[in-house]
Structure 1
Protein backbone atom coordinates (compact mmCIF):
# COMPACT_ATOMS: atom_id res chain seq x y z
CA UNK A 1 0.00 0.00 0.00
CA UNK A 2 2.87 2.41 0.75
CA UNK A 3 3.24 5.08 -1.94
CA UNK A 4 -0.34 5.00 -3.23
CA UNK A 5 -2.60 8.05 -3.12
CA UNK A 6 -5.51 6.83 -1.00
CA UNK A 7 -7.43 10.03 -0.18
CA UNK A 8 -7.97 13.56 -1.41
CA UNK A 9 -9.28 16.41 0.72
CA UNK A 10 -10.60 19.90 0.10
CA UNK A 11 -10.01 22.59 2.71
CA UNK A 12 -12.33 25.48 1.91
CA UNK A 13 -13.75 28.70 3.27
CA UNK A 14 -17.37 27.77 2.45
CA UNK A 15 -18.12 24.02 2.65
CA UNK A 16 -21.82 24.40 1.87
CA UNK A 17 -21.17 26.32 -1.35
CA UNK A 18 -18.31 24.00 -2.30
CA UNK A 19 -20.52 20.94 -1.81
CA UNK A 20 -23.12 22.37 -4.19
CA UNK A 21 -20.43 23.16 -6.75
CA UNK A 22 -18.67 19.80 -6.76
CA UNK A 23 -21.84 17.73 -6.75
CA UNK A 24 -22.93 19.59 -9.91
CA UNK A 25 -19.53 19.29 -11.61
CA UNK A 26 -18.43 15.75 -10.71
CA UNK A 27 -21.69 14.01 -9.85
CA UNK A 28 -20.56 13.35 -6.28
CA UNK A 29 -22.97 13.01 -3.39
CA UNK A 30 -22.03 15.03 -0.29
CA UNK A 31 -22.65 13.36 3.08
CA UNK A 32 -21.76 14.19 6.66
CA UNK A 33 -19.09 11.84 7.96
CA UNK A 34 -21.21 10.96 11.00
CA UNK A 35 -18.25 11.32 13.38
CA UNK A 36 -19.54 12.97 16.60
CA UNK A 37 -18.11 16.44 17.16
CA UNK A 38 -16.35 16.51 13.77
CA UNK A 39 -17.61 18.73 10.96
CA UNK A 40 -16.36 16.71 7.99
CA UNK A 41 -18.06 16.04 4.66
CA UNK A 42 -17.53 12.93 2.54
CA UNK A 43 -17.82 12.99 -1.24
CA UNK A 44 -19.15 9.72 -2.65
CA UNK A 45 -19.62 8.27 -6.11
CA UNK A 46 -23.34 7.40 -6.38
CA UNK A 47 -23.97 3.76 -5.61
CA UNK A 48 -20.95 3.37 -3.31
CA UNK A 49 -20.88 3.84 0.46
CA UNK A 50 -17.14 4.49 0.66
CA UNK A 51 -16.08 8.09 0.08
CA UNK A 52 -13.56 9.06 -2.58
CA UNK A 53 -12.68 12.42 -0.98
CA UNK A 54 -13.40 14.64 2.00
CA UNK A 55 -13.98 18.28 2.79
CA UNK A 56 -13.24 20.37 5.86
CA UNK A 57 -13.64 24.07 6.63
CA UNK A 58 -10.64 26.36 6.91
CA UNK A 59 -10.03 27.15 10.56
CA UNK A 60 -10.86 30.77 11.52
CA UNK A 61 -7.21 31.63 12.12
CA UNK A 62 -6.45 30.60 8.52
CA UNK A 63 -9.29 32.54 6.88
CA UNK A 64 -7.43 35.84 6.76
CA UNK A 65 -6.10 35.30 3.26
CA UNK A 66 -2.83 33.68 4.26
CA UNK A 67 -4.11 30.14 3.65
CA UNK A 68 -6.21 29.83 0.49
CA UNK A 69 -8.71 27.03 -0.17
CA UNK A 70 -6.93 24.04 -1.68
CA UNK A 71 -6.98 20.32 -2.41
CA UNK A 72 -4.48 17.97 -0.79
CA UNK A 73 -3.50 14.38 -1.48
CA UNK A 74 -2.86 11.70 1.14
CA UNK A 75 -0.23 9.03 0.43
CA UNK A 76 -0.29 5.75 2.33
CA UNK A 77 2.81 4.96 4.39
CA UNK A 78 3.72 2.13 6.75
CA UNK A 79 4.97 4.48 9.51
CA UNK A 80 3.86 8.11 9.52
CA UNK A 81 6.37 9.27 12.12
CA UNK A 82 9.35 7.65 10.42
CA UNK A 83 8.35 8.94 6.98
CA UNK A 84 7.81 12.47 8.30
CA UNK A 85 11.32 12.40 9.79
CA UNK A 86 12.62 11.12 6.48
CA UNK A 87 11.11 14.11 4.69
CA UNK A 88 12.67 16.50 7.22
CA UNK A 89 16.06 14.77 7.12
CA UNK A 90 16.28 15.03 3.33
CA UNK A 91 15.53 18.70 2.74
CA UNK A 92 11.79 18.73 3.32
CA UNK A 93 9.85 19.75 6.42
CA UNK A 94 6.99 18.69 8.70
CA UNK A 95 4.11 21.18 8.61
CA UNK A 96 1.51 19.44 10.82
CA UNK A 97 1.62 16.42 13.12
CA UNK A 98 2.17 13.55 13.20
CA UNK A 99 -1.16 13.09 14.96
CA UNK A 100 -3.92 10.55 15.37
CA UNK A 101 -7.47 10.82 14.07
CA UNK A 102 -9.35 8.54 16.50
CA UNK A 103 -10.57 5.34 14.83
CA UNK A 104 -9.49 6.68 11.42
CA UNK A 105 -5.70 6.68 11.30
CA UNK A 106 -2.50 8.64 11.82
CA UNK A 107 -1.40 11.48 9.55
CA UNK A 108 1.16 14.23 9.01
CA UNK A 109 1.35 17.09 6.55
CA UNK A 110 4.84 17.45 5.11
CA UNK A 111 6.56 19.51 2.44
CA UNK A 112 9.12 18.32 -0.08
CA UNK A 113 12.51 19.88 -0.69
CA UNK A 114 10.92 22.66 -2.80
CA UNK A 115 8.07 23.39 -0.39
CA UNK A 116 5.13 21.59 -2.04
CA UNK A 117 2.83 20.16 0.65
CA UNK A 118 1.57 16.57 0.69
CA UNK A 119 0.00 14.43 3.42
CA UNK A 120 1.11 11.09 4.85
CA UNK A 121 -1.49 8.68 6.16
CA UNK A 122 -1.72 5.27 7.80
CA UNK A 123 -5.37 4.23 8.12
CA UNK A 124 -6.87 2.11 10.84
CA UNK A 125 -8.00 -0.91 8.86
CA UNK A 126 -11.55 -2.00 9.77
CA UNK A 127 -12.35 -5.60 10.57
CA UNK A 128 -14.18 -7.70 8.01
CA UNK A 129 -14.43 -7.26 4.24
CA UNK A 130 -13.98 -3.83 2.72
CA UNK A 131 -17.04 -2.21 1.12
CA UNK A 132 -16.91 -2.16 -2.68
CA UNK A 133 -15.15 0.75 -4.37
CA UNK A 134 -15.71 2.14 -7.88
CA UNK A 135 -13.31 0.84 -10.52
CA UNK A 136 -10.37 3.09 -11.47
CA UNK A 137 -11.43 5.50 -14.19
CA UNK A 138 -15.04 5.63 -13.01
CA UNK A 139 -16.44 9.18 -13.24
CA UNK A 140 -16.04 10.79 -9.83
CA UNK A 141 -12.85 8.94 -8.88
CA UNK A 142 -9.45 10.63 -8.86
CA UNK A 143 -7.47 9.74 -11.95
CA UNK A 144 -4.17 11.61 -11.74
CA UNK A 145 -1.84 13.37 -9.28
CA UNK A 146 0.47 16.05 -10.65
CA UNK A 147 3.34 18.01 -9.13
CA UNK A 148 4.66 21.32 -10.44
CA UNK A 149 8.11 21.46 -8.82
CA UNK A 150 10.97 23.93 -8.74
CA UNK A 151 13.03 21.25 -10.48
CA UNK A 152 11.12 18.30 -11.88
CA UNK A 153 14.09 15.93 -12.13
CA UNK A 154 15.20 16.70 -8.58
CA UNK A 155 11.65 16.32 -7.24
CA UNK A 156 11.18 12.94 -8.92
CA UNK A 157 14.42 11.66 -7.37
CA UNK A 158 13.22 12.88 -3.95
CA UNK A 159 9.81 11.22 -4.13
CA UNK A 160 11.04 7.99 -5.68
CA UNK A 161 13.26 7.51 -2.62
CA UNK A 162 10.47 8.36 -0.19
CA UNK A 163 7.63 6.36 -1.75
CA UNK A 164 9.19 3.90 -4.17
CA UNK A 165 7.66 5.57 -7.21
CA UNK A 166 9.03 4.26 -10.50
CA UNK A 167 9.52 6.17 -13.77
CA UNK A 168 6.85 5.43 -16.35
CA UNK A 169 6.79 7.73 -19.39
CA UNK A 170 9.06 10.69 -20.13
CA UNK A 171 7.27 13.22 -22.32
CA UNK A 172 8.99 16.12 -24.10
CA UNK A 173 6.69 19.12 -23.61
CA UNK A 174 8.75 21.47 -25.78
CA UNK A 175 9.23 24.88 -24.19
CA UNK A 176 7.34 23.64 -21.11
CA UNK A 177 10.11 21.12 -20.40
CA UNK A 178 9.94 17.42 -19.57
CA UNK A 179 6.95 15.70 -18.01
CA UNK A 180 7.90 12.58 -16.02
CA UNK A 181 5.05 10.21 -15.22
CA UNK A 182 5.39 7.70 -12.40
CA UNK A 183 3.87 4.40 -11.30
CA UNK A 184 3.96 1.98 -8.39
CA UNK A 185 4.13 -1.48 -9.87
CA UNK A 186 1.12 -0.90 -12.13
CA UNK A 187 -0.45 1.78 -14.33
CA UNK A 188 0.74 5.37 -14.06
CA UNK A 189 -0.61 7.31 -11.10
CA UNK A 190 0.82 10.78 -11.65
CA UNK A 191 3.33 13.12 -13.21
CA UNK A 192 6.02 15.59 -12.20
CA UNK A 193 7.39 18.57 -14.13
CA UNK A 194 9.22 21.82 -13.47
CA UNK A 195 6.69 24.56 -12.80
CA UNK A 196 6.13 27.30 -15.35
CA UNK A 197 7.26 30.86 -14.69
CA UNK A 198 3.76 32.19 -14.02
CA UNK A 199 3.24 29.71 -11.17
CA UNK A 200 4.23 31.46 -7.91
CA UNK A 201 5.22 28.33 -5.95
CA UNK A 202 5.48 24.53 -6.26
CA UNK A 203 2.22 22.66 -5.67
CA UNK A 204 0.32 19.43 -6.22
CA UNK A 205 -2.72 19.35 -8.51
CA UNK A 206 -5.35 16.58 -8.63
CA UNK A 207 -7.57 15.32 -11.46
CA UNK A 208 -11.11 13.94 -11.13
CA UNK A 209 -12.41 11.58 -13.82
CA UNK A 210 -15.43 12.75 -15.82
CA UNK A 211 -17.18 11.25 -18.85
CA UNK A 212 -16.54 14.03 -21.39
CA UNK A 213 -14.40 17.13 -20.96
CA UNK A 214 -16.43 19.79 -22.80
CA UNK A 215 -19.64 19.04 -20.91
CA UNK A 216 -17.72 19.00 -17.63
CA UNK A 217 -16.06 22.34 -18.42
CA UNK A 218 -19.50 23.80 -19.10
CA UNK A 219 -20.68 22.53 -15.71
CA UNK A 220 -17.70 24.21 -14.02
CA UNK A 221 -18.56 27.56 -15.58
CA UNK A 222 -22.30 27.15 -15.06
CA UNK A 223 -21.77 26.45 -11.34
CA UNK A 224 -19.63 29.56 -10.80
CA UNK A 225 -16.13 28.15 -11.28
CA UNK A 226 -13.46 29.04 -13.82
CA UNK A 227 -11.67 27.04 -16.49
CA UNK A 228 -8.16 28.49 -16.49
CA UNK A 229 -6.49 26.10 -18.95
CA UNK A 230 -7.78 23.79 -21.66
CA UNK A 231 -9.42 21.71 -22.89
CA UNK A 232 -6.19 20.03 -24.04
CA UNK A 233 -5.50 16.56 -25.35
CA UNK A 234 -2.64 14.86 -23.52
CA UNK A 235 -0.40 11.93 -24.50
CA UNK A 236 -2.47 8.76 -24.41
CA UNK A 237 -5.56 10.46 -25.83
CA UNK A 238 -7.25 11.82 -22.69
CA UNK A 239 -8.57 15.37 -22.43
CA UNK A 240 -8.00 17.72 -19.48
CA UNK A 241 -9.00 21.08 -18.07
CA UNK A 242 -7.49 22.97 -15.13
CA UNK A 243 -10.04 24.85 -13.04
CA UNK A 244 -10.72 27.03 -10.01
CA UNK A 245 -13.76 26.45 -7.84
CA UNK A 246 -15.83 29.46 -6.62
CA UNK A 247 -13.77 29.67 -3.41
CA UNK A 248 -10.47 29.69 -5.36
CA UNK A 249 -9.23 26.12 -4.91
CA UNK A 250 -7.50 24.68 -7.97
CA UNK A 251 -8.58 21.29 -9.28
CA UNK A 252 -8.53 19.52 -12.63
CA UNK A 253 -10.69 17.17 -14.65
CA UNK A 254 -9.71 14.36 -17.02
CA UNK A 255 -11.88 12.49 -19.52
CA UNK A 256 -11.38 9.87 -22.22
CA UNK A 257 -13.15 12.03 -24.82
CA UNK A 258 -13.82 15.62 -25.74
Structure 2
Protein backbone atom coordinates (compact mmCIF):
# COMPACT_ATOMS: atom_id res chain seq x y z
CA UNK A 1 0.00 0.00 0.00
CA UNK A 2 1.13 3.59 -0.44
CA UNK A 3 1.47 3.65 -4.24
CA UNK A 4 1.46 6.99 -6.04
CA UNK A 5 0.55 7.70 -9.64
CA UNK A 6 3.90 9.37 -10.38
CA UNK A 7 5.80 6.15 -9.75
CA UNK A 8 6.67 6.82 -6.12
CA UNK A 9 6.60 3.53 -4.30
CA UNK A 10 8.02 2.24 -1.05
CA UNK A 11 10.12 -0.91 -0.87
CA UNK A 12 7.63 -3.73 -0.44
CA UNK A 13 7.35 -7.00 1.41
CA UNK A 14 4.46 -9.45 1.37
CA UNK A 15 1.66 -9.06 3.90
CA UNK A 16 2.36 -12.69 4.80
CA UNK A 17 5.60 -11.56 6.44
CA UNK A 18 3.79 -9.27 8.89
CA UNK A 19 0.44 -11.08 9.08
CA UNK A 20 -1.90 -9.85 11.79
CA UNK A 21 0.04 -6.61 12.27
CA UNK A 22 -1.11 -3.09 11.37
CA UNK A 23 0.22 -2.36 7.87
CA UNK A 24 -1.43 0.94 6.84
CA UNK A 25 -3.94 3.60 7.88
CA UNK A 26 -6.39 5.53 5.74
CA UNK A 27 -8.93 8.29 6.12
CA UNK A 28 -12.14 8.70 4.15
CA UNK A 29 -13.17 12.36 4.13
CA UNK A 30 -16.01 14.30 2.55
CA UNK A 31 -13.77 17.23 1.54
CA UNK A 32 -10.49 15.90 0.17
CA UNK A 33 -8.93 19.30 -0.54
CA UNK A 34 -9.89 20.71 2.87
CA UNK A 35 -8.57 17.59 4.58
CA UNK A 36 -5.24 17.90 2.81
CA UNK A 37 -4.95 21.53 3.89
CA UNK A 38 -5.75 20.62 7.50
CA UNK A 39 -3.23 17.79 7.85
CA UNK A 40 -0.63 19.72 5.88
CA UNK A 41 -0.89 22.57 8.39
CA UNK A 42 -1.00 20.37 11.50
CA UNK A 43 1.37 17.50 10.62
CA UNK A 44 3.42 18.94 7.77
CA UNK A 45 2.27 16.32 5.28
CA UNK A 46 2.68 16.62 1.51
CA UNK A 47 0.36 14.81 -0.87
CA UNK A 48 0.70 12.89 -4.11
CA UNK A 49 -2.07 11.39 -6.27
CA UNK A 50 -2.65 7.71 -5.52
CA UNK A 51 -2.83 4.97 -8.14
CA UNK A 52 -6.37 4.19 -6.98
CA UNK A 53 -7.58 7.04 -9.18
CA UNK A 54 -9.21 10.43 -8.76
CA UNK A 55 -10.24 11.25 -5.23
CA UNK A 56 -7.35 9.37 -3.59
CA UNK A 57 -4.02 10.70 -2.34
CA UNK A 58 -1.03 9.42 -0.37
CA UNK A 59 0.26 11.59 2.48
CA UNK A 60 4.05 11.82 2.79
CA UNK A 61 6.38 13.19 5.45
CA UNK A 62 9.99 13.81 4.45
CA UNK A 63 9.26 11.86 1.27
CA UNK A 64 8.06 8.75 3.10
CA UNK A 65 4.46 7.43 2.69
CA UNK A 66 2.44 7.86 5.88
CA UNK A 67 -1.25 7.30 5.12
CA UNK A 68 -3.92 7.20 2.45
CA UNK A 69 -6.71 9.77 2.20
CA UNK A 70 -9.72 9.30 -0.03
CA UNK A 71 -13.04 10.93 -0.79
CA UNK A 72 -16.00 9.49 1.11
CA UNK A 73 -18.76 8.89 -1.43
CA UNK A 74 -22.43 8.39 -0.64
CA UNK A 75 -22.34 4.73 -1.71
CA UNK A 76 -19.80 3.73 0.95
CA UNK A 77 -21.56 2.49 4.13
CA UNK A 78 -18.90 3.85 6.50
CA UNK A 79 -18.36 7.05 8.48
CA UNK A 80 -15.62 9.63 7.95
CA UNK A 81 -12.88 8.29 10.23
CA UNK A 82 -9.33 6.99 10.38
CA UNK A 83 -9.12 3.27 9.74
CA UNK A 84 -6.21 0.91 10.47
CA UNK A 85 -5.50 -1.94 8.05
CA UNK A 86 -4.10 -5.28 9.17
CA UNK A 87 -1.98 -7.59 7.02
CA UNK A 88 -3.52 -10.99 6.22
CA UNK A 89 -2.61 -14.01 4.11
CA UNK A 90 -5.93 -14.14 2.27
CA UNK A 91 -8.52 -11.34 2.29
CA UNK A 92 -11.43 -13.59 1.32
CA UNK A 93 -10.74 -16.19 3.99
CA UNK A 94 -10.28 -13.46 6.59
CA UNK A 95 -13.57 -11.82 5.58
CA UNK A 96 -15.26 -15.19 6.05
CA UNK A 97 -13.80 -15.43 9.56
CA UNK A 98 -15.18 -11.96 10.34
CA UNK A 99 -18.69 -13.06 9.30
CA UNK A 100 -18.43 -16.37 11.18
CA UNK A 101 -17.71 -14.44 14.38
CA UNK A 102 -20.67 -12.06 13.99
CA UNK A 103 -18.65 -9.24 12.46
CA UNK A 104 -19.66 -7.34 9.32
CA UNK A 105 -18.04 -7.00 5.91
CA UNK A 106 -18.89 -3.49 4.71
CA UNK A 107 -16.89 -3.31 1.46
CA UNK A 108 -15.16 -6.06 -0.49
CA UNK A 109 -13.00 -7.97 -0.63
CA UNK A 110 -11.97 -6.19 -3.82
CA UNK A 111 -8.84 -6.26 -5.97
CA UNK A 112 -6.66 -3.16 -6.39
CA UNK A 113 -4.39 -1.97 -9.23
CA UNK A 114 -1.36 -2.82 -7.10
CA UNK A 115 -2.28 -6.49 -7.23
CA UNK A 116 -3.40 -6.64 -3.62
CA UNK A 117 -6.83 -7.49 -2.29
CA UNK A 118 -8.58 -5.89 0.67
CA UNK A 119 -11.81 -5.18 2.49
CA UNK A 120 -13.40 -2.88 5.03
CA UNK A 121 -14.94 -4.83 7.89
CA UNK A 122 -16.28 -4.27 11.40
CA UNK A 123 -15.97 -6.25 14.60
CA UNK A 124 -18.94 -7.44 16.67
CA UNK A 125 -19.26 -4.05 18.37
CA UNK A 126 -19.11 -2.08 15.13
CA UNK A 127 -15.50 -0.85 15.18
CA UNK A 128 -14.35 -0.56 11.55
CA UNK A 129 -10.96 -1.83 10.38
CA UNK A 130 -9.41 -2.94 7.12
CA UNK A 131 -7.75 -6.17 6.00
CA UNK A 132 -5.09 -6.31 3.29
CA UNK A 133 -3.43 -9.14 1.39
CA UNK A 134 -0.69 -7.92 -0.93
CA UNK A 135 2.44 -5.84 -0.88
CA UNK A 136 3.08 -3.61 2.13
CA UNK A 137 5.77 -1.02 2.75
CA UNK A 138 8.79 -2.59 4.42
CA UNK A 139 9.54 0.69 6.22
CA UNK A 140 6.01 1.40 7.47
CA UNK A 141 5.51 0.25 11.04
CA UNK A 142 3.50 1.67 13.92
CA UNK A 143 5.78 3.43 16.37
CA UNK A 144 8.57 4.02 13.86
CA UNK A 145 9.41 6.94 11.59
CA UNK A 146 6.47 8.90 10.16
CA UNK A 147 3.99 6.04 10.59
CA UNK A 148 1.38 6.42 13.36
CA UNK A 149 2.83 6.46 16.85
CA UNK A 150 0.06 4.34 18.30
CA UNK A 151 -3.25 2.60 17.59
CA UNK A 152 -5.99 2.21 20.16
CA UNK A 153 -9.30 0.36 20.10
CA UNK A 154 -11.89 1.74 22.48
CA UNK A 155 -14.61 -0.83 22.89
CA UNK A 156 -17.07 -2.45 25.26
CA UNK A 157 -14.95 -5.38 26.46
CA UNK A 158 -11.23 -5.44 25.65
CA UNK A 159 -10.83 -9.14 26.41
CA UNK A 160 -13.73 -10.21 24.17
CA UNK A 161 -12.35 -7.95 21.45
CA UNK A 162 -8.92 -9.55 21.78
CA UNK A 163 -10.46 -12.98 21.23
CA UNK A 164 -12.31 -11.75 18.13
CA UNK A 165 -9.26 -10.09 16.57
CA UNK A 166 -6.99 -12.93 17.60
CA UNK A 167 -9.16 -15.49 15.81
CA UNK A 168 -9.68 -13.28 12.74
CA UNK A 169 -6.11 -12.00 12.33
CA UNK A 170 -4.11 -14.85 13.82
CA UNK A 171 -2.74 -13.11 16.89
CA UNK A 172 -0.87 -15.23 19.46
CA UNK A 173 -1.18 -18.43 17.43
CA UNK A 174 2.41 -19.53 17.92
CA UNK A 175 3.08 -19.24 14.19
CA UNK A 176 6.51 -17.76 13.48
CA UNK A 177 6.29 -13.98 13.22
CA UNK A 178 2.78 -13.64 14.63
CA UNK A 179 1.80 -10.71 16.83
CA UNK A 180 1.75 -11.34 20.55
CA UNK A 181 -0.96 -10.32 23.00
CA UNK A 182 -0.57 -9.52 26.69
CA UNK A 183 -3.20 -8.67 29.29
CA UNK A 184 -2.09 -5.74 31.42
CA UNK A 185 -4.48 -4.42 34.09
CA UNK A 186 -7.73 -3.74 32.23
CA UNK A 187 -6.07 -3.44 28.83
CA UNK A 188 -4.87 -5.71 26.07
CA UNK A 189 -1.56 -4.83 24.43
CA UNK A 190 -0.61 -6.01 20.92
CA UNK A 191 3.08 -6.38 20.14
CA UNK A 192 4.85 -6.85 16.84
CA UNK A 193 8.38 -8.17 17.14
CA UNK A 194 8.29 -7.40 20.84
CA UNK A 195 7.34 -3.74 20.34
CA UNK A 196 3.87 -2.46 21.36
CA UNK A 197 1.81 -1.27 18.38
CA UNK A 198 -1.77 -1.19 19.67
CA UNK A 199 -3.80 -1.18 22.85
CA UNK A 200 -7.37 -2.42 23.35
CA UNK A 201 -9.34 -0.58 26.03
CA UNK A 202 -12.78 -1.60 27.30
CA UNK A 203 -15.38 0.23 29.34
CA UNK A 204 -17.74 1.70 26.74
CA UNK A 205 -21.26 1.34 28.14
CA UNK A 206 -24.26 0.09 26.18
CA UNK A 207 -25.71 3.60 25.99
CA UNK A 208 -22.43 5.17 24.88
CA UNK A 209 -21.97 2.49 22.23
CA UNK A 210 -24.78 4.03 20.19
CA UNK A 211 -23.55 7.64 20.32
CA UNK A 212 -21.38 8.72 17.34
CA UNK A 213 -18.75 10.35 19.59
CA UNK A 214 -18.31 7.39 21.93
CA UNK A 215 -19.16 4.33 19.84
CA UNK A 216 -16.54 1.55 19.67
CA UNK A 217 -13.85 2.44 17.15
CA UNK A 218 -10.17 2.48 16.38
CA UNK A 219 -8.17 5.64 17.12
CA UNK A 220 -4.97 6.56 15.28
CA UNK A 221 -2.31 8.73 16.95
CA UNK A 222 0.40 10.62 15.05
CA UNK A 223 3.68 11.86 16.48
CA UNK A 224 4.35 15.63 16.47
CA UNK A 225 7.48 17.62 17.47
CA UNK A 226 5.50 19.93 19.76
CA UNK A 227 2.04 19.07 21.07
CA UNK A 228 1.02 22.62 21.96
CA UNK A 229 1.97 23.89 18.51
CA UNK A 230 0.06 21.04 16.86
CA UNK A 231 -3.06 21.82 18.91
CA UNK A 232 -2.77 25.49 18.00
CA UNK A 233 -2.40 24.66 14.30
CA UNK A 234 -5.37 22.28 14.43
CA UNK A 235 -7.57 24.90 16.09
CA UNK A 236 -6.48 27.58 13.62
CA UNK A 237 -7.34 25.21 10.75
CA UNK A 238 -10.86 24.56 12.02
CA UNK A 239 -10.20 21.51 14.18
CA UNK A 240 -11.42 20.86 17.71
CA UNK A 241 -9.62 19.63 20.83
CA UNK A 242 -11.60 16.64 22.11
CA UNK A 243 -9.64 15.77 25.25
CA UNK A 244 -7.14 17.11 27.72
CA UNK A 245 -3.45 16.43 27.20
CA UNK A 246 -2.60 12.91 28.33
CA UNK A 247 0.65 11.07 28.94
CA UNK A 248 1.34 7.97 26.83
CA UNK A 249 1.85 4.54 28.44
TM-score tier by shorter-chain length is: 0.7 to 0.9
What is the aligned partner in structure 2 of residue 4 from structure 1?
21
Between stretches 179-188 and 93-102, larger displacement belongs to: 179-188
Name which of structure 1's ranges 111-120 and 157-166 shifts more when overlaid on structure 2.
157-166
Alignment of 1:77-226 (within 5 A): 77-124=88-135, 136-138=143-145, 140-163=146-169, 164=171, 165-168=179-182, 170-171=184-185, 178-197=186-205, 198=208, 200=211, 201-226=215-240
How far apart are the structure 1 equivalents of 2:56 and 2:92?
Answer: 24
Q: How many residue pairs are counted as aligned between the two chains?
A: 218
**Does the Cα contact within 8 Å between 1:45 and 1:52 map onto a contact in 2?**
yes
- Normalised to the residue count of structure 1, the TM-score between the two structures is 0.76
CA distance in 2, matches of 1:203, 1:135: 18
- Cα 1:46–1:83 shift into 2, 3 Å: same
Cα deviation, residue 162, structure 1: 2.3
C-alpha spacing 1:136/1:68, structure 2 compared with 1 (3 Å)? closer
Q: Match for residue 59 of structure 2?
A: 43
Q: Match of 1:23? A: 40
Q: CA deviation at 1:7?
A: 1.1
Q: Which has the higher contact order (CA 8 A, sep 6+)?
A: 2
Structure 1 segments unaligned to the other structure (5+ residues):
172-177, 236-258
Q: TM-score, normalised by structure 2?
A: 0.79
Residue by residue over 1:46-72, the C-alpha shift from the partner in whole angstroms, topping out at 9 and shown as x without a partner, is 133xx211111111446xxx8542111
In the alignment, the residues of structure 1 paired with residue 141 and residue 217 of structure 2 have an alpha-carbon distance, to the nearest angstrom, of 27
Judged with a 3 Å threshold, the aligned counterparts in structure 2 of structure 1 residues 219 and 105 are, in CA distance, closer, same or farther, namely same
- Relative to structure 1, the CA distance from residue 135 to residue 87 in structure 2 (aligned partners, 3 Å threshold; closer, same or farther) is closer
How many angstroms does 1:36 deviate by?
Answer: 7.5
Q: What RMSD over aligned residues (CA atoms) do the two structures have, in Å?
A: 2.4
The structural deviation recorded for 1:93 is 2.0
1:186-215: CA deviation from partner (whole Å, max 9, x where unpaired):
200101111434452211111111123222
Contact 1:137 1:209 in 2 (8 A): no
Is contact 1:75-1:119 (8 Å) kept? Answer: yes
Is the strand fraction higher in 1 or 2? 1
Give the match for residue 13 of structure 2: none
Q: Secondary structure at the match of 2:238?
A: coil
CA-CA distance at 1:16 after TM superposition: 0.3
CA gap of 1:72–1:133, structure 2 versus 1, over 3 A, is: closer
Report Cα offsets for 1:172-192 as digits up to 9, x if no partner: xxxxxx222211332001011
CA distance in structure 1 between the partners assigned to 2:233 and 2:98 by the alignment: 39
Match of 1:247 in 2: none
Question: Bigger CA drift: 151-160 or 6-15?
Answer: 151-160
